[in-house]
A and B are shown apart, each in its own frame.
Chain A
Amino acid sequence: MVEEIGTTEQGDLVINVGPQHPATHGVLHLVITLNGETVKKVEPHLGYIHRSIEKMCESLSYRQFIYATSRMDYLSSHINNHGCALAVEKALQIEVPERAQVIRVLMDELTRIASHVLWWGAMAMDIGAFTPFFHAFREREMINDIMEETCGARLTMNYMVPGGVMFDLHPNFHRRVKEFIRQFHKKLPEYDELVTGNAIFKARTRGVGVLSKEDAISYGCSGPTARASGVDCDIRKLYPYEVYGKLQFEQPLATEGDTYARYLVRMHEMRQSLSIVEQLIDNIPEGEFQAKTKAVLKPPKGEFYSRVETARGEFGVYIVSEGGTTPYRIKYRSPGFSNLSALDHAVRGQKIGDLVAIMGSFDLVIPDIDR
């Protein structure tokens, strides 16, 4: 704190946003320098919930370490697990049965919708509208119920295993997802009515927190945050994994790079994910849901990297194997960490109210940043 106060000019106000603050959705600590209402500088102080998952994983076996990642980005825990499972499969060259692939993608997209729906509510709440949050939870609850039936958990699903998924689908799965698709088709226009077209919302978000394409690339942004600036960086499209290559879906792009663009991209992404679910739900192939694997996994010596697209952006898993039963070193490239580094750039010169809106549009999940 001391050096920050030292660098501020007379008349500046240094305030701590967080570690406990309603807008940070967790324990993010931002030290912001204000001149009146205008933000001059934002400096994140991290680590309040750092658990050093990377170090923990070094002493967990190749089957166990996958589940530690559920605790990183808890809103897309399924996709994090997926990334780890892919890395292990790549190392061991396991062929995943088609049924398992489809189930994985289905679950990924449902998770993505659930995450975006929650983000939608939270973003509206950041800007001061409380009601959307509850409407968002109505739909999220349906997905959580679907997850609970099949995976046995609602938040940290732990459904992936190297080589497939842990259990087969629940008999109700098909019917429930159909029901959800019907409901969500009805509710999406309602979302638009409530928030997207609102004049105050537009006034609050248009032209606010602009991130140019060059900046987005340079700051290593990914996911909807970067796509709103015109960077086509959807891993599902560029480097398709599982059955994504065979699916019809768009990668929503915008060029404005402001908060409203980020909002629209995410809204559009929900529609795309819904269409993926629709394409797959009636075409789940019969067969094994898990490949036959050895009880103890011992990947060969070497380094393996896998990338998946989570709800927040690109999630990378870098495994260094020494040939033992536990990884020698694991690095998780979490999307939130890189996106957060662009926050300062986007917020400078904006009002303090915009800080909250921009933070909301970045969709930061703090355990994902802290790891």
Chain B
Amino acid sequence: MWSFAQLADTIHEGLQASLPPAWALAAEMTIVGLSAIGLFAMLGLVLVLMERKVSAFMQIRIGPNRVGPAGLLQSFADTLKLLVKEGITPDGVDKFLFNAAPLVAMIAAMLLLAPIAFARDFQIWDLNIGVLYVSAVSSLNVIAILMAGWSSNNKYSLLGAMRSGAQIVSYELSAGLSVLTIVVLAGSLQVSEIVASQADGWWIFKGHVPALMAFVIFLIAATAETNRAPFDMAEAESELTAGFHTEYSGMKFALFFLAEYINVFIVCAIGATLFLGGWMPLHIGHWEAFNHAMDWIPSSLWFFGKTFFLIFVIMWFRWTFPRLRIDQLLDLEWRYLLPIGMVNILLVTLVAILGWHF
């Protein structure tokens, strides 16, 4: 059966056969880099279109419908517009930080693509601390936001950045704790092993109540970490106009925008990997026939299906809920989610030690 893993192997063998080893490695890296960037751009376009279509669906509108069939090319047109727009750097900004911030946001988002398993045996870098790597690198995002807010020399930007700093640092804890529950259950930090441990059922089903609770906490924390409504304090457009990217325009704004959507994709991909089995098809215990039938659906479809389902859920949040206030936001984290998460991790350790999970 055709798969991404085979494709990768074919390219690998072809290059090894025709080039000296060092060159082959370089060529492979270039291909990986280019496809990562390609995926990046594609994801941005698709997610923006999806967001607009989802919001239109929620808001009894049609959404983009003029450019291309059913408005499919709308994002391309928007990107083109942003590309040819003048990138304004206002007077009085800290030029270096101001221009560097969108790049930092972008690079932080891009680095996160590395440990994600897109399909069976198809991963850029299966490092043995994959989950830890994701939690570590995803916090880099806050630095970009603080840089942008501080260097803009704008009071709204500063307020937005400060809010965002407090928010991301807080919610990192909950996200980390809920990720840890799965690490405890799976017994590994490596993404491929976590996925492999779900061969007889996804953790959200196998892990009883603690896994389910961890999933809910993860969803909330993920929404908060990506600065999306109802936790979009950093932007809060009715309060702070556009928060930390008030002063940005043109491509620099687009980079922030893109980074936001890539981050949404990444956290949803992580959520899908940890709780919903990543590329692992829906398997139930030892029902061999059922499991076999499920294997007929390609693993990449499983992965993207789950990820986009989670993305849809997060978009659903955004277009349904009002925004929290900053103090309520922090209250929610420190008074509710964090204690619950801590109790939950105790519970899950008990479950794991006693082997109560399936």
Whether the pair A23, B322 counts as a contact (CB closer than 8 A) is: no
A128 at the interface (CB under 8 A from B): yes
Q: Determine if B322 and A124 form an interchain contact, defined as CB atoms under 8 angstroms apart.
A: yes
Q: 1/0 contact trace for A195-229 toward B, CB 8 Å? A: 10010110110000000000000000000000000
Is A351 a contact of B322 with CB atoms below 8 Å? no
Are B319 and A130 closer than 8 Å at their CB atoms? yes
Confirm or deny: A368 has a beta carbon within 8 angstroms of a beta carbon on chain B. Answer: no
Is B208 in contact with chain A by the CB < 8 A criterion? no
Our pick among A37, A126, A131 for the contact of B320 (Cβ within 8 Å) is: A131
Report the Cα distance A204→B230, complex, angstroms. 12
A131 & B324 in contact (Cβ 8 Å cutoff): no
Nearest CB to that of A359 among chain B residues? B238
Q: What residue in chain B is nearest A38 (Cβ atoms)?
A: B327
Instruction: List chain A residues, Cβ under 8 A from B55.
Output: 130-131
Contact of B238 among A128, A134, A194, A200 (CB under 8 A): A128
The residue on B at minimum CB distance from A205 is B322
Task: Specify the chain B residue showing the minimal Cβ separation from A135.
Answer: B60
B266 within 8 A of A: no
Q: Which of B229, B238, B322, B324 is the one whose CB lies under 8 Å from A22?
A: B238
Contacts of A351 in B (CB 8 A): 325-327
Evaluate contact between A13 and B155: CB separation under 8 angstroms. Answer: yes
Q: Is B30 an interface position by the 8 A CB rule?
A: no
| A131–B239 touching, CB < 8 Å | no
> How many interface residues does A have (CB within 8 Å)?
32
Q: Given known contacts A21-B241, A128-B236, A130-B59, is B326 in contact with A37 (CB within 8 Å)?
A: yes
B292 contacts A by Cβ under 8 Å: no
Query: Within the complex, which residue of B59, B239, B240, B322 is in contact with A200, where a contact is CB–CB below 8 Å?
Result: B322
Q: Which residues of A contact B59 (CB under 8 A)?
A: 130-131, 133-135
Are B236's CB and A200's CB within 8 A?
Answer: no
Cβ-based interface call for B314 (8 A): no
A354/B156 in contact, CB under 8 A: no
For residue B278, give the distance in angstroms from its CB to the closest CB of chain A: 32
Q: A124-B322, A352-B159 are in contact. Are A131 and B238 (CB under 8 A)?
A: no
CB distance from B349 to the nearest CB of A (A): 31
Q: Which residues of A contact B229 (CB under 8 A)?
A: 128
Are A131 and B241 in touch, CB under 8 angstroms? no
Q: Scan A126-148; emit 1 where CB is below 8 A from any B CB, else 0.
A: 11111101110010000000000
In the bound complex, CA of A351 to CA of B236 (Å): 13
CB-CB under 8 A from A125, the residues of chain B are 238
Sorting the interface of chain B by its residue count into under 10, 10 to 19, 20 to 34 or 35 or more gives: 20 to 34
Q: How far is the CA of A126 from the CA of B236 in the complex (A)?
A: 9
Contacting pair B322 A356 (CB below 8 A): no
Contact (Cβ within 8 A) B61 A201? no
With A134-B59, A135-B59, A352-B239 as contacts: A129 and B324 at CB distance below 8 Å = no
The answer, yes or no, to whether B52 is at the interface (CB within 8 Å) is no
Q: Does A15 contact B (CB under 8 A)?
A: yes
Q: Which of B156, B232, B238 is packed against the most chain A CB atoms within 10 Å?
A: B238
Which among B155, B319, B328 is the interface contact of A131 at CB below 8 angstroms? B319
- Which residue of chain B is the closest to A128 with respect to CB atoms? B323
Contacts of B163 in A (CB 8 A): 37
Interface residue? B129 (CB, 8 A) = no
| Per-residue A-contact encoding for B52-73, CB less than 8 Å = 1, 0 else | 0001001111000000000000
Could you tell me the distance between the alpha carbons of A129 and B238 in the complex, rounded to whole angstroms?
10
B220 to chain A, nearest CB (A): 12
Q: How far is the CB of A56 from chain B (nearest CB, A)?
A: 33
- List the A residue with the shortest CB-CB distance to B232: A128
Decide yes or no whether A353 CB sits under 8 A from chain B.
Answer: yes
The answer for the CA separation of A200 and B232 in the assembled complex, in Å, is 14
Query: Known: A23-B238, A128-B230, A353-B239. Contact between A201 and B322, CB under 8 A?
Result: yes
Given A128-B238, A131-B58, A353-B236 in contact, is the A198-B322 Cβ separation under 8 Å? Answer: yes
Q: Which of A124, A131, A203, A354 has the most CB of B within 10 A?
A: A131
* Chain B 288-332 interface 0/1 with A at a Cβ cutoff of 8 Å (1 = within): 000000000000000000000000000000011111111110000
Minimum CB–CB distance from B212 to chain A (whole Å) comes to: 20
Which residues 186-242 of B have a CB within 8 angstroms of A?
A: 229-230, 232, 236-241
Give complex CA distance A245, B44 in Å. 61
Q: How far is the CA of A201 from the CA of B230 in the complex (A)?
A: 11
Contact A134 B61, beta carbon cutoff 8 Å: yes
A357's closest neighbor in chain B, by CB? B325
With a CB–CB cut-off of 8 A, which chain B residues contact A130?
55, 59, 319
- Name the interface residues of B26-61: CB closer than 8 Å to any CB of A: 55, 58-61
Residue of A nearest to B331 (CB): A203
Complex Cα–Cα for A13 and B157 (A):
13
Q: When chains A and B are docked, how far (Å) is the Cα of A131 from the Cα of B317? A: 11
B238 A126 Cβ-Cβ under 8 A: yes
Residue ID in chain A nearest B231 by CB atoms: A128
Q: Which of B239, B320, B324 is in CB contact (< 8 Å) with A23?
A: B239
Give residues of chain A (41-80) contacting chain B, Cβ–Cβ below 8 Å: none
B322 with A353: CB separation less than 8 A: no
B325 to A, closest residue via Cβ: A353
* B250, chain A: closest CB distance, angstroms: 20
Residues of B within 8 A of A134 (CB): 59-61
Add 16 more A-B contacts to A37-B159, A134-B60, A351-B327 (CB < 8 A).
A15-B156, A126-B238, A128-B238, A128-B321, A130-B55, A130-B59, A134-B61, A135-B59, A198-B322, A200-B230, A204-B325, A204-B328, A351-B325, A353-B239, A353-B323, A355-B239
Q: Residues on A close to B: CB < 8 A? A: 13, 15, 21-23, 34, 37, 124-131, 133-135, 138, 194-195, 198, 200-201, 203-204, 351-356
20 contacting pairs across A/B (C-beta < 8 A): A22-B241, A128-B230, A128-B321, A129-B320, A129-B321, A130-B55, A131-B58, A131-B59, A131-B319, A135-B60, A198-B322, A200-B230, A200-B321, A200-B324, A203-B324, A204-B324, A351-B325, A351-B326, A353-B239, A356-B239
The list of the 8 closest CB pairs from A to B, nearest first, reads A128-B323, A134-B59, A127-B322, A129-B322, A353-B325, A23-B238, A15-B155, A128-B322
